[in-house]
Structure 1
Amino acid sequence: MDEGNSIIYGLEHQTRALSPQYGESDAIRFLIGTQSLKPGTNQVHVVELEEDTGALHTKVFRHEIGEIWQLRCSPHDAATLLTVHNAYDPIAQQCAMGVSIYKLPTVEVIPKDLDELSAMQSRNAEDLEHVTTIRPEKPEEEVRCAEWHSTDPGRVGVVYEGRLAVVDLASGAALAAAAPDGRARLKFTAGKWNPHQGHSQFAVLQDMHIKCYDTRADGAKPAWTIDNAHRQLARDLDFNPNRQFHVASAGDDGALNIWDYRNGKEPIFSRSDHSHWVWTVRYNCYHEQLLLTGSSDARALLTAAPSVCRDPDDDKQPVLEDGVLQSYEQHEDSVYCAEWSAAEPWTFASLSCDARLVLSRVPRHFKYKILL
């Protein structure tokens, strides 16, 4: 991929689900889920970027259950993924959501011989191997998101609109649960495992607030909270991979906030560079001062936050300044997802509702400032 240039991959159907292939450490791969209302037309696309040439290679798999609202690759196995989906249930005569676990028949994307090349060029979609499906207790219950446990491949945290459940994939049983507190019964909107604190905490977004539950407890009260994290609905959060008390959040107020949840009265870092709702925020797993955001203003922003990534006894000046490093404006619709590559720390992808995937790189001069 040339310096300063992005690569665009277009799909046939609308999209809002994107995930890097976490279990793959050598190839730059992203998985995309489509959101078509027409039964039997949804797909999972595996997109691989050839770093040296900038060429894109793809494989397409059928997703028969329904439109895909979220997709997450397993951090434990490159061939395993989950999707949060919505489809019409003819028995209940209504739409019903669920979480399905699948395995890819192969993780290889770039063909190794001529027979594989001709098969890829035919563009025939292959079948995913269905493992199991987690369904809500009530058909009308909405599933907000699902997240793999950081260390246990047999556990998945599922956020419903009114509760959190940690599900054992082998038995389908809920190992832990939590529900919104307070009389207002504000609904959950998203959530994520805390990679610190023994991998036992799960943080959820509840309206404008962040609440984190210890899954070893009864779930009646959160372990910690950040009230009014945003002035409007909170949309997404991500934990700093290196600093155990830092969490970033994004919301409908157009803000990116970073918090030290030991004292959540005021954010330790805040930017309002987007002009509309911010749907997603992601820390770079290797360089914590770099964050990605995607917004309904049709932009993905690369932002630096070095001022909150310094140790108290570090006298060196940050090599980057706080603020937006670069704006990526190749999208024409809401950017629902932005994700860093799991294999290469300087490559990332953004996905918009108009079925457009944009692969980009951190500009070289910022990269060299960080490394040198």
Structure 2
Amino acid sequence: MQGGSTGIVYGGLKYQARCIADVSADPDNTSFLAGTLSLKEENEVHLIRLSPSGTELVCEGLFYHPNEIWDLKSCPFDSRIFSTVFMSGETYGASIWEIPELYGQSNAPQLEELVSLKERASKLKCVLWWPRGRHDKVISIDEGNLFLWSIDSSSKTAKVISQESVGMLHRLSGGAWDPHDRNVVATICESSLQCWDLRTMKKTNSIENAHFRDVDYNPKKQHIIVSAEDESGVRIWDLRKPKFPMIELPGHVHWTWAVRYNPEYEDLILTAGTDSAVNLLLASTTGSNDSTSESLADYAALRIDPLLHSYSDYEDSVYGVAWSFREPSMFASLSYDGQVIVESVRPYLQKR
């Protein structure tokens, strides 16, 4: 099903942007962080909130960031803390920041750098937080290495507990931390997905011969992941049977850049692409005891086409997409020209 947008638009980002994240630790608001990617201007992080009426997006905070932002993640247990991966010239860095407490009383208050992740990083790709509750570890991934850090924000220190090099044959580009097991992380290379045990820093299994762009774990079902791939579109895998995908889903006309499972309705998947579209997919993986989405499962049984809707009201590539943890029927998307749109998928949650 094709269609334009009936979403709520935020046009406050002045520069190009790729990164948006849900502020999942905020219990009172549907809010997102977005970061810009300007080569010549001073970059910004915007704290964007949905108004109480649900009719407009409000800039709750605007913060200067020293460099262009290539990755941004919100801390899952503290709404004022987030991480960025940034680039200055040819140099990459990663930091964990804290939003100042009185941020609403200044035009553009300075972010406080809690911790800098300065280890011998080559081309840094992302920082990962374990998505379930409080945890004092983070993971950073660069082109050749996986680092596990211990963070002490009170003393503003971070130290590498362990690291593993993937070798010269692979170049890492991203990953996801298993929400069901804090000792497991999946990383993506040019031609494979690799799962690692963080206790031993050894590879446990892998999916080969696919060009992965993004990956996300199913938050409700263990061992199930979804991948965005250049040639195959979107595929769902059971990591216990990695040779063949469980389900193949349609991708985008051009590159499928990002993929995200809904935090509550495990059959709903969002993808974003360089064809200036966001797709809402429905893919039921049977055999679960969960009953959170019975109506969706019934709905899926009635449908042959897994594409519920394609949101196409964008003028540029869409690199960033994020579900709201507080209100799982809503998501935010960010196109490269800096436009943020928040949409509701509530019409597709009803049993038809």
Q: TM-score, normalised by structure 2?
A: 0.89
| Corresponding position: 1:186 with 2:167 | no
Whole-angstrom distance in 1 between the partners of 2:243 and 2:16 = 39
Cα offsets for 1:177-231 (capped at 9, x unmatched): 12215xx52100101111123x1111100112110110100x2x41111112x3x
Deviates more, 1:15-24 or 1:266-275: 266-275
Count residues with an aligned counterpart: 336
One-letter identity of the residue aligned with 1:130: E
Matched residue SS, 2:140: strand
Whole-angstrom distance in 2 between the partners of 1:164 and 1:206 = 12
Rg larger for: 1
Q: Is contact 1:291–1:302 with CA below 8 Å preserved after alignment?
A: yes
2:288 to 301, 307, 311: 311
1:262 to 240, 244, 247: 240
Deviates more, 1:153-162 or 1:49-58: 49-58
Q: CA deviation at 1:25?
A: 2.2
Q: CA deviation at 1:368?
A: 2.1
Deviates more, 1:314-323 or 1:166-175: 314-323
Whole-angstrom distance in 1 between the partners of 2:256 and 2:102 = 32
Whole-angstrom distance in 2 between the partners of 1:165 and 1:273 = 31
Is there any run of 5+ residues in structure 1 with no aligned partner, and where? 89-94, 110-115
2:36 to 34, 37, 41: 34
| Corresponding position: 1:103 with 2:107 | no
| Corresponding position: 1:227 with 2:194 | no
Change (3 A) 1:313 1:172: closer
Q: Which residue of 2 aligns with 1:112?
A: none
Q: Which residue of 2 aligns with 1:113?
A: none
Q: CA deviation at 1:51?
A: 5.0
Cα offsets for 1:249-305 (capped at 9, x unmatched): 102226111000101111111113411111111000100000000001110000000
Q: Which residue of 2 aligns with 1:67?
A: 68
Cα offsets for 1:38-87 (capped at 9, x unmatched): 25x10000110125341221034333420000110000101111111111
Whole-angstrom distance in 2 between the partners of 1:304 and 1:77 = 31
1:343 to 306, 326, 330: 326
Q: Is contact 2:125–2:173 with CA below 8 Å preserved after alignment?
A: yes
Change (3 A) 1:313 1:65: closer
1:293 to 261, 265, 271: 271
Identity of aligned residues (%): 31
Whole-angstrom distance in 2 between the partners of 1:328 and 1:168 = 40
Is there any run of 5+ residues in structure 2 with no aligned partner, and where? none
Q: Is contact 1:246–1:258 with CA below 8 Å preserved after alignment?
A: yes
1:131 to 103, 114, 119: 114
Q: Is contact 2:70–2:85 with CA below 8 Å preserved after alignment?
A: yes
Q: Is contact 1:254–1:278 with CA below 8 Å preserved after alignment?
A: no
Whole-angstrom distance in 1 between the partners of 2:257 and 2:28 = 29
